[in-house]
Amino acid sequence: MELQNSVKEALNALYHHPDDAFRMEADRWLQNFQRTIDAWQVADNLLHDATSNLETLIFCSQTLRSKVQRDFEELPSEAFRPLRTSLNTLLKKFHRGPPKVRTQISIAVAALAVQVPPEDWGDGGIVNWLKDEMTSHPEYIPGFLELLTVLPEEVFNYKIAARPERRRQFEKELTSQIEVALNILTACLKISELKEQVLEAFASWLRLRHGIPGSLLACHPLVHTALSSLNSEILSEAAVNVISELIHYTTAGNSGGIPVQMPLIQVIVPQVMSLKEQLRDPSKDEEDVKAIARLFADMGDSYVELIATGSNESMMIVNALLEVASHPEYDIASMTFNFWHSLQHFLTKRDSYTSFGNEASIEAESRRRLQVFRSPYESLVSLVSSRVQYPPDYQTLSVEDLKEFKQTRYAVADVLIDAASVLGGDATLRILYVKLAEARTCLGNDHNQWHPAEAALFCIRAISNYVSTVEAEVMPKIMSLLLELPHEPQLLQTVCLTIGAYSKWLDAALDGFPQLSSVIKILLSGMGKSEDSAAAAAVAFRHICDDCRRKLCGYFDELFSIYNSAVIGEGSLKVSAGDSLHVVEAFSMVITELPADQAKLALEKLCLPVVTPLQEIISQGPDVLEKKLARELTVHIDRLAYIFRYVNHPEAVADAIQRLWPILKAIFDIRAWDMRTMESLCRACKYAVRTSGRLMGITIGAMLEEIQGLYQQHHQPCFLYLSSEVIKIFGSDPSCAYYLKNLIEALFKCTTCLLTNIKDFTARPDIADDCFLLASRCIRYCPQVFIPSAVFPSLVDCSMIGVTVQHREASNSILTFLSDIFDLAKSSMGEQYLTIRDSVIIPRGSSITRILVASLTGALPSSRLETVTYALLALTRAYGASALEWARESVSLIPSTVVTEVEQTKIFQALTDAASGVDIKTLMGAVEELSDVCRRNRTVQEIVQGALRPLELNLVTVS
């Protein structure tokens, strides 16, 4: 009684106390209360208490539902019958509401049914029990109908802490009783006020997708009621839900497929088609139109393979879907977008035609179908292209509305791509050019009317990858027209992006630099107009320089003023520091096309405006360099990184990095404490190493010496990832073995001292991530240096400590490192080091296996299952019977109340099969099941982790 009063007081505080702190405290207390075993009795008592108010009833019904779903195992087995009786009494008590309470009680009963075998309910399980209750107590039918509705939904509710095997049994139990359920619902149809509830329950049972023959459903009273209720004001929503489920049902894998369900399809389709006129009925409520449109979209999605044959009947559905696509409300029109994408797939993919036998027949049928669907897709292009136009008041749109509008444009762009796949890009372009020409005419002298032209250009840009580079009818007109358009910022932004999108066409269609210069002038205008248009112009310029580099390389000096203005920031250009990187990349790609001697000079010219500001800062002395804001340095260093990355002249880049090394070293020495600057600098060095490779000569030695010393002082993770790049390039070079050995021993020794317990891993996951990425690189590229080294055993110990870190990237890097060790025989030269590896892994094998099993069963999130499973599989394949015994030892530690003997046997068998080469999918299924069993609720998960204790194992040092 005292607890009941406390619950009432806490609820009163939660809902009515004026002080936020009190409300938060009450909420915390109630959440903690729900986890206690007392919550069962208290919630049950208060639900039966006639004096409980609505807030109490809602909270207690939610509590009871949650307890049944998650904590049913807390109760002794003899508690089932009293619990069922109590829930049944409550279901009757609340059969007319409040609806929220009744729903929670219904879900609780259904969850109880999932967790206990059918015989506990009497003959035939819960469905027959329910039928008997409804027969005996017809006055409570509304409450029982809700239970009948939620029952099939709970099959797929993974909040219920049932074992996977029991869940599968429950699904079989319900599917075997579907006829009984439908008979109950048919009998309830006689009560007119229950028709809506009956239809919703019918839709719920259809989601089980059980194979009832189409011939039986086609003449079933429930189907007939749903079809005849489509025009009913009261029942239309429930009827649409049923018909929608029936449509999906007819194509479900276990329903027998379309041939078996054809009698039902032949009943549904004409009825839905008869609703077509209502799509245009102005008297219809928008929600009603949306419901009808949903049925057409469902038909299109479900029967797309049939529709793709292009029969007369299927074209009627296509025309109806075009009608939906033409609806002024985007939410309605967009319901068809998935259909047009799926149809395009069936029309254009060769797999769709394999049944036609020889190549000639396949080609003929493909041509026929594409011709049949040409007209609908042409209409579609015209319909959707108008939806991307900026509204007149776009500048006043909220952030959310603007985001929604952009998402609409992306969705329309995808539809246009689908259309271009069917019609061909050139044909689609011709349709869109008509829109652009019309918009240009409307534009006239009124620059405020730019919206239609911008919309047409957006669509033209969307299909750029599908337009042939030799298209000569429309593209020259479009390019000429671009020169005439006003430089309104939003329009200019799209003009620039369109130019960039057609860079390959410009390269193929234009002859020489003079023709390109007019296009580049537009891009320059874009760079000077606004920040948005400057960003678009910078991206477009990069595309132009990438695809037209051969034509532009002879005009490097003439173009250099663009680079200078964008990088130095002088003049009228509004290119941001971030967008200037596109310009740097653009010029770097042009340099790549130059001969080696010219490239070296051009690269110097490119580096000069980037390096000069850094030199000026350094010349002012260490104090000035140390106090500079990171962004004042990184803006220049990032540009260097892009130059080193995109100038594909290894010798020129090697020469540049050697000349620039004193500047870079000065920044390393003074700013090693600053993570942001170091990340930027290491990125630049990484790209220099990647581009120059072994041409870097003495510079690489100086670089390694620098990062080796600085890492031990400042522990910057980026020093580790720079080392990874060096290992990749130089790992197999015998002349570098001594330097690399010193490097990795110093780096790993320092890291293992930093990461001595799981708290260290949690606090510095970036160091863990980069450390074990580097270790994996060592295994792949220089096992001869790494495996015999003194740091290898301590790094394995370190990995055991950190496997269960919750940080995704760090955990994945550690698991990948372990997998690479187990797979050592697969790496180059790896086999000769197996003896050393085994001397380290075998003494630790039992502990490693136990940590991996703990990770699978709850120590790591279930999203990591695949990575952990592969590590366990690699271990098992490397150590065979020993690993299987380690796994057996680990799993047997889990109490049999949590994992039964049958479940243990299943995982051992799957591991044995996988170790001998059976498909990993079998193991994955068994692991997922074990994981599900061990995570089914908080209590079970705590028991499992308490038995396996992964964090205690890795504190034991193995000699």
Give me the amino acid identity at 668: F
Task: Report the distance separating Cα 472 and Cα 155, nearest Å.
Answer: 60
Looking up tokens 């799993």 gives: 891
Residues with Cβ within 8 Å of residue 107, at least 6 apart in sequence? 65, 69, 150, 154
User: Residue 774 in contact with residue 798, Cβ under 8 Å?
Assistant: no
Residues 233 and 247 in one domain: yes
In a domain, 896, yes or no: yes
Residues 861 and 950 in one domain: yes
Query: Residue ranges of the chain with pLDDT lower than 50?
Result: 955-959
- Per the document, the length of the chain is 959
In a domain, 680, yes or no: no
User: Residue 522 in contact with residue 535, Cβ under 8 Å?
Assistant: no
Task: Report the distance separating Cα 855 and Cα 935, nearest Å.
Answer: 11
Residues with Cβ within 8 Å of residue 849, at least 6 apart in sequence? 872, 875, 883, 886, 887, 889, 890
In a domain, 606, yes or no: no
Task: Report the distance separating Cα 583 and Cα 206, nearest Å.
Answer: 58
Residues 324 and 295 in one domain: yes
Distance of CA 194 to the CA centre of its chain: 42
In a domain, 486, yes or no: no
Could you tell me which of 671, 769, 761, 682 has the C-alpha nearest to residue 726?
Answer: 682
Residues 855 and 789 in one domain: no
Q: Please tell me the predicted confidence (pLDDT) of residue 958.
A: 40
Residues 850 and 754 in one domain: no
Residues 287 and 374 in one domain: no
In a domain, 196, yes or no: yes
Q: List, in sequence order, the alpha helices (H) in 72-140.
A: 80-93, 99-115, 125-136
Q: Please tell me the predicted confidence (pLDDT) of residue 959.
A: 35
In a domain, 890, yes or no: yes
* Structural domains in the chain (count): 6
How many CB atoms sit inside 10 A of residue 381's CB? 25
User: Residue 348 in contact with residue 422, Cβ under 8 Å?
Assistant: yes
Residues with Cβ within 8 Å of residue 291, at least 6 apart in sequence? 236, 237, 240
Choose one of 208, 233, 261: the last residue of a domain. Answer: 208
Residues 227 and 337 in one domain: yes
Residues 792 and 914 in one domain: no
Choose one of 474, 490, 509: the last residue of a domain. Answer: 474
In a domain, 180, yes or no: yes
How many CB atoms sit inside 10 A of residue 449's CB? 15
Residues 327 and 220 in one domain: yes
Q: What is the CATH number of the domain that holds 251?
A: 1.25.10
Residues 171 and 291 in one domain: no
Choose one of 34, 59, 75: the last residue of a domain. Answer: 75
Range of the domain at 821: 717-826
Residues 865 and 911 in one domain: yes
How much is the pTM? 0.88
In a domain, 244, yes or no: yes
Peptide bond into 650 cis (omega under 30): no
Could you tell me which of 13, 23, 133, 157 has the C-alpha nearest to residue 85?
Answer: 133
Residues 861 and 926 in one domain: yes
